Chains A and B, each alone.
Chain A
Amino acid sequence: MPARIERLEFKPAPGRSAVAMTWLAHLDDQTRLLARDLKGITAAELQWQLRPGMNTIGMLLAHLAMVEVIWLTVAEQRPPLADLERTTGQGRDDDGMPNEEYGGKPPAKLKGRSLKYYLNLIQRARAHTKPIVRRYRDEDLTRSFTRTRLNGERQHVSIRWILYHVAEHFSGHYGQILMLRHLYRDRNGRA
Chain B
Amino acid sequence: MSTTTPKRIESRIVPAAGYASPSVAFAVAAIADVHAQLAAAIRGLPPAAFAWQQAPRTNTIGMLVAHVALAEVNLAQVVLLAEPRGHTPDVLALTTDDDGMPIEKYGGSPPAALAGRDEAFFLSLIERAEAHTFAAGRALSEEQLGEEIARPPRPDGSYRVFDRRWALHHMVEHAARHLGQIHVLKRQWKAAQPGG
Contacts and interface: CB of A to CB of B under 8 A. Distances in A.
Q: Answer yes or no: are A and B bound together in one complex.
A: yes
Interface of A: 3-12, 18-19, 22, 25-26, 29-30, 50-51, 54, 138, 144, 146, 153-158, 160-161, 164-165, 167-169, 171-176, 178-179, 182-183, 186, 191
B11 A161 contact: yes
B158 A154 contact: no
A179 B183 CA distance: 11
A164 B58 contact: no
Which 4 pairs of residues, A with B, have the shortest CB-CB distance?
Answer: A175-B177, A172-B180, A171-B176, A10-B166
A172 B179 contact: yes
A134 B171 CA distance: 24
A175 B9 contact: no
A81 B55 CA distance: 39
A25 B169 contact: yes
A4 B173 CA distance: 26
Given A153-B9, A191-B57, A178 B177 contact: yes
Contacts of A8: 160-163, 166, 170
Interface of B: 6-13, 22-23, 26, 30, 33-34, 54-58, 146, 153, 156-163, 165-166, 168-170, 172-174, 176-181, 183-184, 188, 191
Contacts of A165: 11
Nearest to B25: A19
B82 to A, nearest CB: 14
A47 B160 CA distance: 37
Nearest to B166: A10
B169 A176 contact: no
B13 A30 contact: no
Contacts of A155: 8-11
Contacts of A158: 11-13
Contacts of A144: 12
Given A161-B12, A176-B183, A153 B7 contact: yes
A179 B54 CA distance: 11
B158 A153 contact: no
A48 to B, nearest CB: 14
